[in-house]
Structure 1
Amino acid sequence: MIVGLIVACEVAFWALLAAGLSFRYLLRMPRVGLALLLCEPLLEVVLFTVTAIDLKNGAEPDWKHGLAAVYIGFTVGLGHSTIRWADARFAHRFAGGPPPVRPPKYGTARAVHEWKVAGRWTLAAVVALALLQSAVWYIGTDGDISSVRAWQQRMLWVIGINLVIAGSYTLFPKREKVSQREWALQRDREES
């Protein structure tokens, strides 16, 4: 039941997003579109409530309950940026908006971008960790919490991987390739 609800929440997320953006840009009803977009968090509330009720009714905690917590965490951490991403593309395609801003490719600007991305992923993982820890406390010592602990370890890996990626862009910034001629001119300027 929990996995089906997670799938339904994901489908509903994209359906609400498409409906909200369609009302906002195609039908020129921005308030209705905004109302639909503001319904997105209700999906997570429903998933959280059903998961808590399932555990309260004596369900043995397993990977599905952990997946529900992770899904909620990722929606909290990444949902807003996903909506902004889709909004920029939808506005450009259907409402004559400016082209979406592409992330920077080189140097400090790219490192800052990667740290922001890592921050969103870290927020998602921390929210998931908090929900998973709440589940551990809720279950108590009577139940088997090994699957919940396994999800917590995965979330720590998510944080670690994102910090390594962002750190690599800071320590080893990607530089724009320079042609041989430009390199020779730059070298001559530095020597003189």
Structure 2
Amino acid sequence: MPYRLQCMSVHILSEEPVLVIPGSSLVLKAQIEHGPLEEVSMVTWEREPETGIAPMRETLATCPGGSLKCDSTRPNVHVNMGQHKTTLQINGYTRVDRGVYAVTVMDHKGVKTTAHCIVREYEAVHHVSISINVSHSLLVCGEAWGTDPHFSWFHERVAITDSVGGVSKDGKTLAVTMTPMCGHFTCIVSNKLGYSSAAYAAGKH
């Protein structure tokens, strides 16, 4: 009888990294594929820090094969099992929940296959600033480490028009075409958690 290759596989159905707003729920879904002669004997969800010399791996839940009931190690951790899928949900996500998540599927012969997923905290916007390149009449808006920042420019509290200048595609740079360059310019950086702003006052001539 020819040797049959191990064909059980598992993959997490999320784009990486998964970004989670603190206080909300983290949900990871994994698809399990296996041949007709293979059986799932155990599914395990684990987490470890993304960085560190000797990262400590934490077991979040274990699910015996053939059973839809999973044993979780924390009250806010819930795992559901289906025929070809498993879902991990962590309610009340906090900063300590970030890291590399792993789901391991073991077949009836003890062979394991694992899928990984990086989970990070969705960060608020921090430390917005405006720098100026006087020679080119450019104002550049900077932001420290917020997740998915969106940039908006205003002149005297009105959105930038063609008579004032043009904004770059990424929204970070305002090329001022009005002469003389004067008045108050404001950059607002926003994301799902709120916004922060910085202002620049150009001298009047």
Q: Which has the higher contact order (CA 8 A, sep 6+)?
A: 1
| TM-score class normalised by the smaller sequence | under 0.3
- Larger gyration radius, structure 1 or structure 2: 2
Structure with the higher fraction of residues in helix conformation: 1
TM-score relative to the length of structure 2: 0.21
